[in-house]
Structure 1
Amino acid sequence: MLQTEDHPIKTIMDLSCLLRRAMEQEMEEFKLSSIQSRILGFLWYKRNHHEKAFQKELESEFKIRRSSVTSVIQGLEKHGLVERRSVSTDARQKELVLTEEGVRVQRQVIERIEEMEKRVNGWLSPEEREWWLRCVNKIETGLKEAEYD
C-alpha cells in the first residue's frame, strides 16, 4: 500500500473520487451526474450574469470533448432542464438556456452543495482551510506553469 504522504497525486485523486461519489449521491434525487450538475451550475452563472452560453465554451470550461458535451446536453434536454435556441446572428449556432425546470432544480442543487460545503468546512479549522487552499492553489499553479492545463 502506498503511503499517502509520499504520493500527493494519489491522495488528491482518491479525494477527488470520494468527492465525486458524494456529489453524485447528493444529486441522485435529481437524476444528475456530477458533470451534468456542474454544467447546470455554469449555465446558471451565465444566466445570472446575462451572458449567452454555447457548447464550445463547455468544452473548454470542463476540458471535455465535443462528443461528451453533446451527450451531457442531450441528457439535460431529455430531463427538460436545458434547451438549445437558435441565435439570430448565426443559424448554425445554438445558445444553451436553462428551462424553468432547470432553474428550479439548480436552486435545489445549490442548496445541497452549500450544505455539503458547510459539512466539509466543519471538518477543518479556519487555519486548516486557509493552509489547504494555499497548497491546492500552489499545485494548480505548478501544473499550469508546466503546461498541463
Structure 2
Amino acid sequence: MQRAIGIAIKKANNALARDSDHFAKQLGLTGMQISTINFIADHETTQDVFQRDLEQEFNIRKATASSLVTAMVTKGLLIRVAATNDARYKRLLLTPQARQLAKKIDAFFAVSERRMQALLAADFDPTYNNLIKISQTFTDQNTQPPKND
C-alpha cells in the first residue's frame, strides 16, 4: 500500500499535534489544553459549554474529557459553574488567567490555519470537505452497534 490516505492523514495529524504541543509547552500547557481554551473562548459568549461539548468537538471519550477538565480546573484555567436551567450540569468557564492565554492561543491557531490554507490554496475547500466526510463516516461507523451476520 504505497499511497495510503489513512497514513497520510495520521502523519499530518501528528505534525499538527507536535506543532501545537511545542507552542503549548511554551505556555506550560498541553496541546489539548490550548485547544480546549480556544474552543471555550470561541463559544462561551454564545452558548453554555459543557464537558460533553468537548467530547463531541474533539471526538474524545467521557473519561478523557473528565481528566482534561479536572486537570485544567486544578491548574486554575477552568471553573465549573452550575447551569442556569439545571444545577446537575456544570458549565465550563475560563478563568481570567486562561482568558489572557486565549488571545495568544487564538493568534497561534490563526497563523496555523493561514499556513494550511496557503499551502492547499485552491484545494482547500475540497480537502476540508473530504476530511469532514471521512471523520463523520468513521465516527458514525464506530458508534453503531456491530452487525450480527
TM-score normalised to the size of structure 2?
0.80
Residues 54-133 of structure 1 correspond to what in structure 2 (within 5 A)? 54-122=50-118, 124=119, 128-133=120-125
Tell me the residue number matched to 1:44: 41
The 1:139–1:104 alpha-carbon spacing in structure 2 relative to 1, beyond 3 Å, is closer
* RMSD of aligned Cα (Å): 2.2
Paired with 2:52 and 2:14, the residues of 1 have a C-alpha distance of 26
From 28, 31, 35, the counterpart of 2:32: 35
C-alpha offsets along residues 70-126 of structure 1, whole Å, 9 cap, x if unaligned?
Answer: 11111211221110012343232211111111110111111122233344445x2xx
The 1:66–1:29 alpha-carbon spacing in structure 2 relative to 1, beyond 3 Å, is same
Paired with 1:143 and 1:81, the residues of 2 have a C-alpha distance of 29
Number of matched residues?
A: 141
TM-score normalised to the size of structure 1?
0.80
User: What stretches of structure 1 of length at least 5 have no aligned partner?
Assistant: none
Paired with 2:81 and 2:127, the residues of 1 have a C-alpha distance of 42
Higher mean C-alpha deviation, range 103-112 or range 52-61:
52-61
Paired with 1:55 and 1:142, the residues of 2 have a C-alpha distance of 24
Q: Percent identity?
A: 21
